[in-house]
Amino acid sequence: MSRIVVVGAGMGAMAVAARLARAGHRVTVVERSGTHGGAVGRAERDGFAFDTGPGLLYFPAVWRDLFIKTGRVELAGCVDLARVDPAVEHRFTDGTAVRLPAALGGVRQALDAAFGGGAGARWAELLGRARETWEATRRPLMEEPLTTPVSARLTGEGDPYPARRGVLRRRPATLAALAAQELRDPRLAALLTGLVQDYGCDPERVPPSAAVLAYIEQTFGTWYPAGGMRALADAVHRRCLDCGVEFTFGTAAARLLSRDGRAAGVELADGRRLPADSVVWSAAGVGEPPSGSSRFTLLLALRGARPAGTPHRTLVHADGLTVSVLRPDDPALRPDAEHETAVLSARVPTGAGGPDWSAPAVAARWAERLMSAADAAGLALRERALWHEARTPLDVERQTGVPGGVVPPPAFAGGGGAHLAAASTGRLPGAYRAGALAHPGGGLANAGMSGALAAGLITEGPDWRGSS
């Protein structure tokens, strides 16, 4: 039985911990904060509750597989997951609105009705080629570990996922340009570019292969666990405990220890040392600081019952800004039936090009911007607001430990390897990575896969290339 230390208690970290403990290893998780879940947080006030990180689950098969592999009770027996229908409503400030049903058959008709004949066919054609891209890259991008250092991927031969067919072969080179060229109607193009923004991606920078996000949503559905996303994090934590994982909260890891050229444990911030045969680092602090964007979030407590027929998820497209509005019909999130919750959020830049979130007026200006976008799209939330709380990238940084509050995007094929995450293996033998900063990148499904890949390398050896 090997001793394994996992640094961080986020979703990817818990995914690897549960698998390794079930395989018979002694697993200790050290987490700098006081709780598990990482970015999957929860805020509560006056009987209202809100998800402060991801609000929906895509590609739930990753988490179903984890529960199948680590115990007798499957995910459905631990979390009440329901498919969101309609999958999403898109609203524009010109009054255009379109609801995309969960059933694939109705999407084309809905788009034709909103944007005119031919819109549905153009959308279906683009997503059909996105399906080919998904089929060509799903295994290397999601189901196989990545063991080549990032620096090597960006030089020489470059991209380990070369263009093979479908969307990846086409020019132009960005998703935004692809959407404009092939979908033609700016509003229809905004459905695609706004969706990738909701994942924390800049459509002007990501490659056309990012269209797989729309394909995945449309094909595998959008899911919500009763009680909010925190219910999923709690279920994964309980599974870890059932498997024998030991958690130590309020304990930060300072550095990786080595002996004879391989990982030998972790030194904690208080100077203590935890020896280990293998270390899985699933937190910020290793390698280059991540680049990317963050999120500004507005938590709204609303007076009045949730109107009948209100969609769970709305994307508001206003003046180049895409605002996600989540309004789950979940009694666990409100004090009674005469109140409702809403979570508004938008992607925001970080670093030198982003706002100074420490300035007192910046959060207020962004809160007004999101609320005005919702008003312009006819959602009428402002007049019902009892109170609101803003969460800036500084709050994201405090919660996750990621510098700048960067929300890691999913990894994408194409772009010369520039849109891939850090390798599944560390600098030294016996060191591994998991979580949103590791291959295959951000998002709950990808973080869960990172844990499966790191566990496979530890249990099966360095030559393991993924499950068959």
Residues 412 and 401 in one domain: no
Cα Rg of the chain (Å, integer): 22
Closest CA to 12 of 63, 67, 72: 63
Question: Does 271 lie in the same domain as 231?
Answer: yes
Whether 91 is in a domain gets the answer no
Residue with tokens 């988490």: 63
Q: What are 38's two structure tokens?
A: 């990482």
**Looking at the structure, do residues 280 and 413 belong to the same domain, yes or no?**
yes
Same domain flag for 397 and 445? no
Q: Is residue 374 part of a domain?
A: yes
In a domain, residue 253? The reply is yes
Look at residues 197, 220, 243 and tell me which one is the last residue of a structural domain. 220
95 found inside a domain:
no
φ, ψ at 369 (rounded to 5°): -65, -45
E strand segments, 209-336: 222-225, 246-249, 253-259, 262-268, 273-275, 278-281, 293-303, 313-318, 321-326
Residue 76 counted as domain residue:
yes
Q: How does DSSP classify residue 141?
A: I
Final residue of a domain: which of 220, 235, 253? 220
Assess whether 209 and 355 both reside in one domain: no
One digit per residue, the tens of pLDDT, for the chain of length 468 reads 799 999 999 999 999 999 999 999 999 999 999 999 999 999 999 999 999 999 999 999 999 999 999 999 999 999 999 999 999 999 999 999 999 998 878 999 999 999 999 999 999 999 998 998 899 888 888 999 998 754 343 333 333 334 334 444 446 678 999 999 999 999 999 999 999 998 989 999 998 989 999 999 999 999 999 999 999 999 999 999 999 999 999 999 999 999 999 999 999 999 999 999 999 999 987 555 667 799 999 999 999 999 999 999 999 999 889 999 999 999 999 999 999 999 999 999 887 778 899 998 999 999 999 999 999 999 999 999 999 999 999 999 999 999 889 999 999 887 777 888 999 999 999 999 999 999 999 999 999 999 999 999 999 998 888 875
- Domain of 273? 3-38+57-81+227-287+408-460
Among 119, 100, 296, 268, which residue's Cα sits nearest to residue 197?
A: 296
In the block, which residue shows the tokens 């031919």?
A: 118
Interior CA angle at 100 toward 97 and 104, to 5°?
155
Residue burial 155-183, b: 16+ Cβ < 10 Å; e: rest:
eeeebebebeebbbeeeeebbbbbbbebb
The answer to whether residues 321 and 231 belong to one domain is no
- Over the stretch 293-350, which tens digit does the pLDDT of each residue have? 999 999 999 999 999 999 999 999 998 899 999 999 999 999 999 999 999 999 998 8
Is 86 inside any structural domain?
no
Looking only at the bridges linking them, the beta strands covering 48-51 and 42-45 are antiparallel
pLDDT of residue 155: 30
Alpha-carbon span 397 to 254, nearest angstrom:
17
Integer angstrom CA distances of residue 198 from 118, 193, 323, 459, 462: 26, 9, 8, 35, 35
Tokens of 130: 């996105």
Query: Is the domain of 419 the same as that of 278?
Result: yes
Q: For the segment 40-52, what is each residue's pLDDT rounded down to a tens digit?
A: 999 999 999 999 9
Q: Are residues 300 and 362 in the same domain?
A: yes
Same domain, 311 and 242: no
Q: Are residues 187 and 318 in the same domain?
A: no
Q: Do the domain assignments include residue 65?
A: yes
Beta-carbon neighbour count of residue 20 at 10 Å? 27
Q: Are residues 201 and 238 in the same domain?
A: no
Give the three-state DSSP class for 430: coil
Residue 172: phi and psi, rounded to 5, are -75, 180
Q: By three-state DSSP, how is residue 181 classified?
A: helix
What is the pTM (predicted TM-score) of this model? 0.93
Query: Is the torsion defined by CA of 259, 265, 270, 272 positive or negative?
Result: negative
In this structure, how many other beta carbons lie within 10 angstroms of the beta carbon of residue 384? Answer: 16
Q: What is the CATH number of the domain that holds 246?
A: 3.50.50.60
Same domain, 412 and 399: no
Please tell me the total count of domains within the chain. Answer: 3
For residue 212, give both structure tokens: 């797989």
Q: What is the Cα–Cα distance from 173 to 190, expressed in whole angstroms?
A: 17
Q: How many residues comprise the chain?
A: 468
Indicate whether 380 belongs to any domain: yes
Domain boundary among 220, 235, 262: 220
pLDDT at position 425, please? 94
Residue 16, φ and ψ in degrees, nearest 5? -75, -35
Partners of residue 140 on adjacent β-strands: none
User: What is residue 288's predicted lDDT score, i.e. its pLDDT?
Assistant: 56
Burial of 133 (0-12, 13-18, 19+ CB in 10 A): buried
